[in-house]
Copies of this chain bind each other. A is one copy, B any other.
C-alpha cells in the first residue's frame, strides 16, 4: 500500500493507493478512524454498485459502521441538480445529521456530485472518496473540486470541499472499459507534459505495460500523478493564483470543454476531449515558437498509443471560440490558455493572438 499526503493545513488528507484496498484491513481501519459517528452514506451508480458496493459495505460492517446506499444512474448526463437533490432527499429521509459521513464510490461524476452534496448538506458534512476509474484516481481525487453541470456550462455550480481520505484501489481498474481507461491516461500524460519531463519519459517507455493494466506500473503512475497534482493544489488551493498555480492543470481543458459542450455532454468522454484539446494546445505552442515539430509529434504519438483521439470534431472555429469564452478560465474577458513552453513546462498564457488560436483549432479538426 502506497500512502501520500495532500498538504492543505487543517484540510490535509491522505491518499492510499494499492490493489484490493476496498477490503484491506489496514485501509478500512484508517477509514473507520476518520468517521465521527458510525453512520455512513455511500453514493454510487448503477454500473459500479453491483461490483463493489457489497464488499465495501461488508468491510464497513465488520468495523461496526452502518451503511445507507444511494444509487444514481451512470453517466455525465446525470451530473445535475436532479441527482444532487436525489442525494439530499435520501439524506433527509434517513434523518442524517452532521455526524454522517458521505462516501463517493465511483468515477468522477459520482465524486463531483457526492462531493458537492457533502459540501452543501447542512452546510457541510465529512466526505471520503473511493474513486473506481483511472481518471478519478489521478484527477478528481486530489484538489477538492466538486460540482454539477448547468445547461449553459460544465462544472458551473460547485464548491471546494476536501475529502478526509481517498482510497485508490487499483483492482477496480480491471473492470474499467478500455475507452474509460484511455480517458484517464489523458490526465496522467498531462502531468508529464506540464511539469514532470522525467515522468513523461517514463510514460513513453511504459505505455504498453500501462495499457495492459500492470498493477505495479499503475500504482506508480497513479502515485506520481497524485503527487504532481497535490503539489500544484497545495500552492493554490482555491485557484486564486494570477499566473500558473492550479490553472496549469487545465492543459487541454478549455479546448476540451468546448468539445464536450459542443457535442453534448457524454458524447465525448472528458479525457477524450482533453486529449484532442491537448493537441490543440501543443499545436498552438508550436505556432508561438515554443515547441518543435518533433515535440508535437511526441505528444501525438503518446496520446495515440494510449488509445486517445488526437483529431477534434469539426464544430467550426467560431463555435469553438464561443464555447471557450464561457469557460471559467476566462478572467475579466481575456481567454487564458495553458500552453507548453517546452515538454514538461506548462504556462498560463492570455496573450495568444486570436488568429493563432483559430488556426490551431482548425488544424486539429482534420486527421
Residues on A facing B (Cβ under 8 Å): 37, 81, 85, 88-89, 92-93, 95, 97-99, 116, 119-124, 145-147, 150, 152-153, 155-160, 238-239, 325-326, 328, 330-333
Q: Assess the B121–A156 pair: CB atoms within 8 A.
A: yes
In the assembly, what is the distance between CA of A93 and CA of B331, in Å? Answer: 16
Q: Assess the B81–A158 pair: CB atoms within 8 A.
A: no
Q: Assess the B123–A92 pair: CB atoms within 8 A.
A: no
In the assembly, what is the distance between CA of A145 and CA of B122, in Å? Answer: 10
Q: Assess the B147–A97 pair: CB atoms within 8 A.
A: no
Q: Assess the B120–A157 pair: CB atoms within 8 A.
A: yes
Cβ distance A283 to chain B, nearest Cβ, rounded Å: 26
In the assembly, what is the distance between CA of A328 and CA of B153, in Å? Answer: 33
- CB-CB under 8 A for A98 and B328, given A81-B85, A92-B153: yes
Cβ distance A250 to chain B, nearest Cβ, rounded Å: 13
Pick from B97, B122, B145, B333: contact of A123, CB under 8 Å:
B145
Closest residue on chain B to residue A39 by CB atoms: B332
> Can you give 5 contacting A-B residue pairs, CB < 8 Å?
A88-B156, A92-B326, A95-B326, A121-B157, A124-B159
With a CB–CB cut-off of 8 A, which chain B residues contact A85? 81
- CB-CB under 8 A for A123 and B147, given A88-B157, A159-B159: yes
Q: Assess the A332–B99 pair: CB atoms within 8 A.
A: yes
Q: Assess the B332–A124 pair: CB atoms within 8 A.
A: no
Q: Assess the A325–B124 pair: CB atoms within 8 A.
A: no
With a CB–CB cut-off of 8 A, which chain B residues contact A95? 325-326, 330
